[in-house]
C-alpha cells in the first residue's frame, strides 16, 4: 500500500513515498488531502473538481452525516462515495471529526464510551461502539480510528493516562470488528475492506508508551498508517512505526508551516488555509522553490536583501477592478487561463458565487504545484536549502482578510455565549438617519398604482414614490 522511496525514512526528516490503493490513482508523497464540508470541497461541484483540479484525495468527517438515514445509503459498494459523487479515482479518507474541528464546550467532553462531535444541530455524543461499524460500512478507502483527542486543550498527566486507556480499548475493539469482517470478506460475504489508520494522542510517544506498545505488539499487522495531531509525536516515534504512512491533522496556517511539517517527516497533510484563503477573497501566489530575484546592487540572483513577497493577493482591493492580468504570474490553472483579476474582483463585489469557485480552483492549483516542487527538491537533496530561500522570499503570514466572504456556518466557529456579535452582516441595513422602512415612523409619498396593462410611457407619467421629510 505504501512504499518509501528515499533512504532517510527513519527518524525526523523529509520522506519521499507513494500511496497506492486498488482502483485509485496513486499519490506521491508528501502531498495533501482536500478538506471537505459535508463530503464536498467548499465551492467546488463534483464536475468542477474532476474537470478543473488535480485533487487526488479528500478527507471527510463522520460528524457531518449525523441524522442521515443509513439504511437508504447501503445499496452501493461505497455509500459515502455515491452520496458525495466523489470522482472514482480520488482517494477518500474518513474520520470522526472534520478538520479543523470546533472545540467542544465542555472541558471533559469525552467519556470511556463516547466522544463529543459537532453536528448540524449542535454538539452530540458519538458512541465508540457505533463508530466502528458505521465507518466500515460507508466504504471509504482509509478509515481513521476513533481517538480521544481534546481539541483546543492541553493534556495533563492524568488526562493522558485516561486517553491512553480509552484508545487502547477502542482500537482493540475496532480491530476485532475488522478481523471478523475480513473473514466474511474472504468467504465472499462482504466487500473489500478499507485501510485502517490508528490515531495518536497529541503528546510524545513516550507519554503514551502503553498505547504505542499495543500498536506495535497486539495490533501489529492490523494498522496500515498513523493519524497524528501534534508534531511532538514524531520526535520519539519507535522504529517499528516508521515505515507506516503518516497523516497529519496539525492544521498548518501558512506554507511555511507546511514546509516545517514536511521536514519532520509527514506524508499526507490536511491544509485548511486553502479554503480559508478562498473565503477571504485571497488568491494564493507562491511557489517552491522560491523564484530567484535579481539584486539591483550586486546583479546576482538573491532574495536576501529584498523585501519579502506576499503569499497571496487580496482580490477585494479596488486596484484590481481594471487589471487584465491573471491571479498569479505564469499560472496555468483554469481561472488564470480563462479570466483576469478585474473579472474575479467584480464577481466578489457582486457576491457572485462564481468568484469563490474560480479562487478555489486557483488556490488548489497553487498548492498542487507547491507540493510538486517539494517532492522534486527532496529527490534532488536540496529541500533544506530551498526551504531557507522560501523563508527569505515570502512573508510569514497570509494577507489579512479585508472583504466579507460567504456566510459563516456553525461548524466554522464556536459560540462564546450571549451578547456576542453576529458573525454575518445583515442584508438589510437602516437608512442614513437610522430609520427602517417598517418601523412605523416614516411616511413615503403615495403613488397611484398603474393599470395592469400599462406601458412604460404611462408609468413614467404616473411617477414613482419619493421619500418626504
Binding-site annotation: residue ranges for Zn(2+): 331, 333, 336, 362
DSSP string, 29-84: ESEEEEE-BTTB-TT--HHHHHHH----EEEEEGGGGTT--GGGG-SSSSHHHHHH
**Would you give the distance in Å from CA 265 to the centre of its chain?**
20
Give the number of other Cβ atoms within 10 Å of residue 4's Cβ: 17
Taking the C-alpha atoms of residue 75 and residue 107, their distance in angstroms, rounded to an integer, is: 40
Give how far Cα 263 sits from Cα of 65, 205, 231, 257, Å: 35, 19, 11, 10
Query: E strand or H helix at 357, and its extent?
Result: helix 353-380
Residues 1 and 195 sit within 8 Å (Cβ to Cβ): yes
CA atoms within 13 A on the CB side of 250: 30
Give how far Cα 294 sits from Cα of 303, 304, 377, Å: 7, 10, 22
Residues 79 and 191 sit within 8 Å (Cβ to Cβ): no
Query: E strand or H helix at 214, and its extent?
Result: helix 209-216
Helix axes 383-393, 353-380, angle to 10 degrees: 140
Query: 283: helix, coil or strand?
Result: strand
SS3 content of the chain, % helix, strand, coil (to 5): 35, 15, 50
Taking the C-alpha atoms of residue 212 and residue 201, their distance in angstroms, rounded to an integer, is: 10
Cα Rg, the chain, nearest whole Å: 26
395 backbone dihedrals φ, ψ, rounded to 5°: -65, 160
Identify the burial level of 57 via C-beta atoms within 10 angstroms of its C-beta, where 0-12 means exposed, 13-18 middle and 19 or more buried. Answer: buried
Residues 370 and 288 sit within 8 Å (Cβ to Cβ): yes
Query: E strand or H helix at 172, and its extent?
Result: helix 157-186
Query: 222: helix, coil or strand?
Result: coil
- CA angle, residues 251, 405, 421, in degrees to nearest 5: 85
Residue ranges of the binding site: 331, 333, 336, 362
Q: Is 335 left (phi over 0), alpha (psi -120 to 50) or beta?
A: alpha
Query: 224: helix, coil or strand?
Result: coil
Query: E strand or H helix at 281, and its extent?
Result: none
Amino acid at each position: 500500500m505504501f512504499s518509501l522511496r528515499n533512504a532517510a525514512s527513519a527518524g525526523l526528516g523529509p520522506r519521499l513515498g507513494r500511496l497506492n490503493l486498488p482502483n485509485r490513482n496513486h499519490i506521491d508523497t508528501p502531498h495533501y488531502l482536500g478538506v471537505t464540508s459535508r463530503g464536498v470541497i467548499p465551492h467546488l461541484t463534483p464536475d468542477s473538481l474532476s474537470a478543473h483540479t488535480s485533487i487526488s484525495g479528500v478527507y471527510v468527517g463522520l460528524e457531518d452525516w449525523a441524522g442521515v438515514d443509513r439504511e437508504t445509503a447501503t445499496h452501493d459498494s461505497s455509500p459515502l462515495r455515491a452520496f458525495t459523487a466523489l470522482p472514482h479515482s480520488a482517494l477518500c479518507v474518513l474520520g470522526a471529526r472534520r478538520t479543523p474541528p470546533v472545540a467542544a464546550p465542555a472541558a471533559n467532553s469525552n467519556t470511556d464510551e463516547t466522544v463529543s462531535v459537532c453536528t448540524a444541530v449542535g454538539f452530540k455524543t458519538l458512541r465508540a461502539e457505533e463508530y466502528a461499524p458505521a465507518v466500515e460500512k460507508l466504504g471509504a478507502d482509509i478509515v481513521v480510528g476513533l481517538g480521544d483527542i481534546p481539541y483546543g486543550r492541553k493534556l495533563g498527566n492524568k488526562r493522558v493516562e485516561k486517553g491512553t486507556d480509552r484508545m487502547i480499548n477502542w482500537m482493540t475493539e475496532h480491530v476485532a470488528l475488522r478481523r471478523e469482517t475480513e473473514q466474511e470478506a474472504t468467504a465472499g460475504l462482504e466487500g473489500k475492506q478499507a485501510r485502517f489508520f490508528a490515531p495518536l494522542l497529541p503528546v510524545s510517544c513516550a507519554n503514551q508508551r502503553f498505547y504505542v506498545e499495543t500498536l506495535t505488539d497486539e495490533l501489529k499487522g492490523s494498522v496500515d498508517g498513523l493519524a497524528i495531531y501534534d508534531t511532538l509525536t514524531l520526535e520519539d516515534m519507535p522504529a517499528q512505526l516508521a515505515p507506516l504512512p503518516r497523516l497529519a491533522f496539525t492544521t498548518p496556517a501558512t506554507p511555511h508551516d507546511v514546509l516545517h511539517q514536511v521536514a519532520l517527516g509527514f506524508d499526507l497533510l490536511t491544509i485548511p488555509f486553502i479554503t480559508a484563503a478562498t473565503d477571504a477573497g485571497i488568491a494564493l501566489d507562491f511557489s517552491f522553490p522560491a523564484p530567484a530575484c535579481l539584486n539591483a546592487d550586486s546583479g546576482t540572483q538573491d532574495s536576501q536583501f529584498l523585501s519579502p513577497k506576499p503569499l497571496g493577493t487580496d482580490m477585494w482591493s479596488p486596484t484590481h477592478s481594471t487589471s487584465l492580468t491573471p491571479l498569479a504570474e505564469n499560472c496555468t490553472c483554469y481561472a488564470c487561463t480563462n479570466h483576469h483579476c478585474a473579472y474575479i474582483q467584480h464577481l466578489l463585489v457582486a457576491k457572485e458565487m462564481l468568484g469563490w469557485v474560480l479562487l478555489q480552483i486557483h488556490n488548489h492549483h497553487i498548492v498542487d504545484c507547491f507540493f510538486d516542487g517539494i517532492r522534486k527538491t527532496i529527490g534532488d537533496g536540496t529541500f533544506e536549502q530551498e526551504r531557507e530561500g522560501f523563508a527569505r522570499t515570502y512573508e510569514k503570514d497570509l494577507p489579512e482578510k479585508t472583504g466579507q466572504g460567504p456566510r459563516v456556518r456553525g461548524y466554522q466557529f464556536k459560540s462564546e455565549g450571549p451578547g456576542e456579535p453576529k458573525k454575518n452582516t445583515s442584508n438589510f441595513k437602516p437608512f442614513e438617519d437610522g430609520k427602517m422602512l417598517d418601523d412605523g415612523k416614516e411616511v413615503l409619498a403615495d403613488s397611484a398604482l398603474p393599470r395592469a396593462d400599462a406601458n412604460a410611457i404611462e408609468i413614467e407619467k404616473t411617477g414613482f414614490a419619493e421619500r418626504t421629510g
